[in-house]
Amino acid sequence: MIFLAPQPDITPITDLIATWIHIGQALVASIGALAFIFAFLWKITAAESKSALAAKQWIQRIVVGTIGVEVAGSLVDILTKSVPAGH
């Protein structure tokens, strides 16, 4: 019967999604940390107040972007866990 057929196993797909999320988060964290260091050094060594303000804005963008990636990763994790796994 069609109605009693087992549901497909989606575990490999959710594992693949989780793996790519972790890779993306690691890349963003690494690049974000490097960008944060450069922006902080730029702010410290800036000769003009306008340049220091620009560096401060970049630091804020980096922090918000990093938080956004973490929130997106958490949301995808919640969504993939809400899908019932096949037997």
What's the whole-model pTM score? 0.57
Spatial distance between the Cα atoms of 43 and 55, rounded to a whole number of angstroms = 5
The structural domains of the chain, with segments of one domain joined by +, span: 14-82
Tokens of 30: 């690494």
- Higher pLDDT: 61 or 5? It is 61
pLDDT at 87 over 50: no
Spatial distance between the Cα atoms of 80 and 87, rounded to a whole number of angstroms = 16
CB 18 within 8 A of CB 77: yes
Q: Which are the contacts of 9, defined by CB distance < 8 A and separation ≥ 6?
A: 85, 86, 87
Task: HSE, CB side, 13 Å, CA atoms: give it for residue 38.
Answer: 8
Q: What is the pLDDT of residues 32-60, one digit of tens each?
A: 888 888 888 888 888 888 888 888 888 88
